Chains A and B, each alone.
Chain A
Amino acid sequence: MNYIGFQELAATNKWSAIMPELIMVGLAMFILLLDLFLPSARKRAIPLLAVFGQFGILALIILGCGCEAIKGPLFGGMIEQGPYTGYTRAFFVLSSALVCYLGSAYLSRQNLPRSEFYLLTILVSAAMMLLVQANNFVMLFVALETVTIGFYVLVAYCRYNPFSLEAGLKYLIMGALSSAILLFGIVLLYGAASNPGLQHSTTDAMNFTSLGKFIQANPNEPLVLIGAILVLCGVCFKIGAVPFQIWVPDVYQGAPTPVTAFLAVSSKAAGFLVLMNLIAAPFAALGSLTAPLLSAIAIITILFGNLTAIGQRNVKRIIGLSGIAHAGYLLVAVVALTKSPDNALAPWAIIFYLFTYLFASFAVFGVMVHLAGVEDENQEIEHYQKLAERQPFLAGILAIGLGSLAGIPPLAGFIGKVLIFIAAFQAGLYTLLGAAIIGVVISIYYYFGWIREAYFVRPSLPGDEAKQSYPMPGAVGIIHKVTLGVLAIITVVLGLFQQGLIGG
């Protein structure tokens, strides 16, 4: 790189533009230091610091103090911010804070190292925030690997539990495989775009913008097509779309419940936002490839997720498999985006849906964490029997959370689904809509079955007495009540009033 190049690079190094991410990393480092130097009696402060520190960062982002999205390339084109950057940052910080909160409830029951959990969660979230701003494959891959490596540790966090270890191993192998596929795709794209024999070949082929220009000039180049497919496959692993969903049920069941929540919400959201970026910039000209490919994946994903969730009795697996179905619905909006990149509704529909998914999921996971025993992976749907009588508050939260996931009005999830349906209609995706409708109707069966278990008294069957009754955890603490209550209220309010979260 010559002198002018360096000068330009230096001019775009605006560290203030990624201030929230830097603060997140700083918070993580501070926790590491505290863990080293704090006497063990005072280590109770660490979860408080992690949760409230992140809520502070969230407040900064919402108030927009010095972290507005900056137009144009940053760090020599590594990062580009857009109209959604503020929303995605808020999303990841909020999700991370809630994971830390659930983690503190979970860890209080386990004999495990504490502070590393918060440290890793915050670092992974910071990496995700950068991941979705990446405008360069190098940045994308590095951020993605940071996320994935963090998750390897988090999934296997409960290290004396064979389920958790199994989940960690599965996630490691499948994650490595998907990283390899992604990397292979990137390299193919890089190789194709650097070929001087082709039009618009570029020396900066990792950059989304210049790669996009190259692809626009050579949309039928076989290397480009194969590379794009491989890259999409790599991303589909993250969002758990069929046929890359194979890890989801086992990992979701084995991972500690807060980590399951983290995987279900943040990791999936990051995958979708990356997919949105890829569709918008480098692969914009490949609509004829990406649209049918993603359509097929979406249909299979919706049907697979819903049909397999019906037969499950373990609630973590239900959440995992239904999460696959949600990925399918979101893919419908992504396909709408591939059909018409200037569709104004589809990106907002995705973001709104992700937020509703966040609030509803954490409400449900909050209930799950409270009800789980020491054996975290063993959460059967039978354990929710008579919940409404014993703990009406938790049952209410559960009903609102699951109702929103099922897309029942007046809850937020319904609006999310309607927006996606409208976006799909705008793009004329009638087959996908049909699949989505079938999926929603099937999903009512298992979501409602879960609610039913909590609410309806089941007539006792012969042999019930022999079964050991599940020990009921104690009363819900006030902090837990407030947190879950706020999540449920937001879920209801977002169903009625969407101003601010949509349309910028």
Chain B
Amino acid sequence: MIFTDFTLLLLSIFIPLSAAVVLFMGKSLGNSGVRLIASIGFMLPAVIAVYLWTRFDTVENLFAGTYAFHGACDLGLRDLVGITLQLGLNGISMPMFLLAGIVGLAAGIHAMYSQAERLHLYMALLLVMQAGLMGVFSSIDIFFFYFFHELALIPTFIMIGIWGGDGRRTGDGRRSAAMEMTVYLTLGAMLSLLGLIALYGQTGWDTSAGFSLIGLRDYFIENGMVEGVSQNIFALLLFGFGILVSLFPFHSWAPRGYANAPTANAMLHAGVLKKFGLYGLIQIAAPLLPEGAIVWNDWIVWLALGNIVLIGFVTIAQTDLKMMIGYSSVMHMGYVFLGIATLSVVGIGGAVMLMFAHGLSVALMFVLATAVFNRTGTYNMKAIGGLGPKAPVLAAFFVAASMASIGLPGFANFWGEFTVFIALWENHAWAVAPAVLGVVISAVYGLRAASSIFFGPQTEAFKESLGQREIGDITLAERAPATILLVALCIVGLWPMSISHSINEAVSQEAVYKKAPALLSGHVQPTSLMMADSEAEKMPKGDASL
């Protein structure tokens, strides 16, 4: 077999998977052996992701016009149902793939030095998750896209059950949190699976086109879709994916789940895995079902505003740091949904950018929250205070992370939110005001959390619980993942072109994102939204690259 870029993609999935298999049986390895194997399993995918990212813009002869590093192999289902393991990256999946690599590495380092019991099992499950994440965003085949998502999802349930729930007051909390999350997410996954199969069904089970993004897109461009069906399938996908992304009002599993999940797991789930649904809407649902996307547009906007405003107020009311991060991550999903609702090149570009940025910043917040917990023994923000002088570096990290998550300039989040607002102005101008209110809300809770934990006098309860114990500053094991994430946030914050260029290229190739905005604002009659007319091809690319 010739060593190609496709092999690299395969390796990025199979290295963590094989490391996981070794660790499952590696009870006798000892902690240092486990760390060695786990670090290989996390390091190599990250290196591959960065390497492919640096090469992405130079690749020529893209497969089907958009996909680099393409390759495929048949695992036995091609003839009967047209399913092949087909991998490749386009401009939208490249940043997500990179995100999975970076956050995976950070979570891996954090997990290696956490005090988890049965470390080998802990790392093995995390590696399975990592393999699934690398697979989700590099799959072109829709079946495997879903398959890898589920592969990454399962460890979440198990890890919450076994290791979750440090410092929760209710002893049985993690059991019910794990169960709630499992049942809820299975429902979401099943609905989206139905939607995806129904989508495939629209081709008349054309196995030559296959169950892949490229095959379906080509088929629908050529043959169009029966009217009316598009809306129904889009609804299935919207609500199926919506449950997985904690779209309001299907969000209740998320804060509780994250609050109870072990840190590394929450980092990977909230940071990367949750982007699956958004990615599915951007890559599959909206481009292939444009009519549906337009019919359901108002729903997306209203529910997204629910995420931003209602959940925003709920977030302010939280006193538990981890619950607050969980709610804030639910809230920020609202912006991404708003970006998707614009259906414009700029808005979708902003949504992808925000997905990338939010993935990094929420993972960073989880690392820091755990660092706070390790020093204070509680997540209750009201019971802490004055930690700053004792742990100045931790305080600096925390303030920076809060600022990133609010969306201040200098961090990647800023570009994402900013672009979404600009795009929103075009066809949902009225929604900009509540959306901007969300920024104020997140400033309120973000800064309040920082001030009540790190500044001001120490509370009596905190002093008592400390006793004679000395608090140290952030350790190297906590600092390494935090630095990786923060540096990545800043690089993209200061040099957004590094990823927005490829996003823009890919998004502007989807005909729907060029035509839909005009349609949404009611200027144009609906024509074939899938068809990329030659005029549009020649027009200068819309500028989301900033």
Contacts and interface: CB of A to CB of B under 8 A. Distances in A.
Contact of A444 (B74, B79, B186, B191): B186
B75 A499 contact: yes
Interface in A455-492: 455-459
Interface in B182-227: 182-183, 186-187, 190-191, 193-194, 197-198, 200-201, 205
Contacts of A455: 158, 161-162
Interface of A: 344-345, 348, 392, 396, 399, 403, 408-410, 414-415, 418-419, 421-422, 425-426, 433, 437, 440-441, 444-445, 448-449, 451-452, 455-459, 496-503
Among all A-B residue pairs, the 4 with the closest Cβ atoms: A499-B76, A498-B76, A459-B171, A409-B150
B175 A425 contact: no
A419 B77 CA distance: 10
20 contacts: A408-B154, A409-B150, A418-B197, A421-B194, A422-B205, A426-B201, A437-B194, A441-B190, A444-B182, A448-B157, A451-B158, A452-B179, A455-B158, A456-B161, A456-B174, A456-B178, A458-B172, A498-B77, A499-B76, A502-B77
A422 B76 contact: no
Interface of B: 24, 27, 74-77, 79-81, 143, 146-147, 150-151, 154, 157-158, 161-162, 171-172, 174-175, 178-179, 182-183, 186-187, 190-191, 193-194, 197-198, 200-201, 205
Given A440-B186, A452-B161, A459-B171, A345 B194 contact: no
A345 B83 CA distance: 13
Nearest to B184: A441
Most chain B beta-carbon contacts within 10 A, residue among A403, A418, A498, A500: A418
Nearest to B85: A496
A390 to B, nearest CB: 14
Interface SS of chain A: helix
Contacts of B151: 409-410
A185 to B, nearest CB: 34
Contacts of A415: 77
Contact of A456 (B27, B162, B191): B162
Given A409-B147, A437-B194, A422 B81 contact: yes
A189 to B, nearest CB: 34
Nearest to A456: B161
B193 A421 contact: yes
Nearest to B240: A437
A396 B190 CA distance: 25
B80 A503 contact: yes
A501 B80 CA distance: 12
Contacts of B178: 452, 456
Most chain A beta-carbon contacts within 10 A, residue among B146, B175, B191: B175
B194 A419 contact: no
Contacts of B200: 422, 425
A166 to B, nearest CB: 34
Contacts of B191: 437
Contacts of A459: 171-172
A452 B193 contact: no
Contact of B150 (A414, A499, A500): A414
B80 A345 contact: yes
Contact of A441 (B76, B81, B143, B183): B183
A403 B77 contact: no
Nearest to A423: B81
Nearest to A406: B186
Contacts of B79: 503
B205 A426 contact: yes
A392 B162 CA distance: 13
A458 B146 CA distance: 32
Nearest to A497: B75
A457 B198 CA distance: 41
Contact of A445 (B76, B147, B179): B179
B535 to A, nearest CB: 37
A496 B197 CA distance: 19
Contacts of A399: 158
B396 to A, nearest CB: 38
A499 B79 CA distance: 10
B179 A448 contact: yes
A388 to B, nearest CB: 8
Nearest to B74: A499
A458 B175 contact: yes
Nearest to B158: A455
Contact of B198 (A396, A425, A444): A425
B80 A452 contact: no
A485 B250 CA distance: 39
A119 B158 CA distance: 42
A362 B200 CA distance: 34
B193 A497 contact: no
B147 A410 contact: yes
A437 B161 CA distance: 25
A500 B76 contact: yes
B230 to A, nearest CB: 16
Given A444-B182, A496-B75, 8 more contacts: A418-B143, A422-B200, A425-B197, A437-B187, A437-B194, A444-B183, A459-B172, A498-B77
